[in-house]
Amino acid sequence: MILVGLTGGIGSGKSTVSAALAERGAVVVDADAIVHELQQPGQPVLAAMVERFGQDILFADGTLDRKAVAAIVFADPDALKALGEIVHPSVQAEIFRRVTENEPTDNIVVLDIPLLAESGWEGLVGTIVVDLDPELAVERLVAHRDYTEEDARARIANQASRETRLADAAFVIDNSGTIADLTPQIDACWEWIEGHR
């Protein structure tokens, strides 16, 4: 198994790069997707979140209202810490399980983790950083993901700085241009990964 990290700030286009690497044959272990799975109705993580933050974080059908959670935790550092204590151990355990499953294979496994710089992960051949000026990230979040500018800035402020991510980078993909500009960079990145076989 070749284990590679993939990270980038919110709005950087990390999901686009992740999907492109999957198309080329990578097994993607996506932390955000795992979070969504663990926050489904009936899951212990969601039950613990409701116990801590109240019924107001649920829609009428019992599913999680992510905007309601964001409104609570991004305004209150203690609430954000509490959310992390509920969610992160279960997410890390599931990531670890999926990575371990791939250990005996010759798969290229991409750990797609927004907070990779903060969490520290051992055994990576390197980390790919999808890089974008934070101001451009704010513009894209407001234009394409229905964020307010204030919410976008609050989320960016709660992540590792651009400088911290870049300091850990073994390969940087610049996503300040178009999708067409991304493709040759992703091809080069795939070659770089393959070079670790």
Pairing of strands 27-30, 171-174: unpaired
Mean pLDDT, the chain, whole residue set: 93
List the single range of 6-10, 111-115, 117-121 with lowest mean pLDDT. 117-121
What's the whole-model pTM score?
0.88
List pLDDT tens digits, range 75-108. 899 999 999 999 999 999 999 999 999 999 999 9
Please report, for residues 6, 20, 41, 57, 100, the alpha-carbon distance to residue 66 in angstroms, rounded to integers and kept in the order given.
Answer: 24, 26, 13, 7, 30
Would you say 113 and 31 are in contact if contact means Cβ atoms under 8 Å apart? yes
pLDDT at 39: 97
pLDDT at 54: 96
pLDDT at 115: 76
List the single range of 34-38, 159-163, 187-191 with lowest mean pLDDT. 159-163
pLDDT at 126: 94
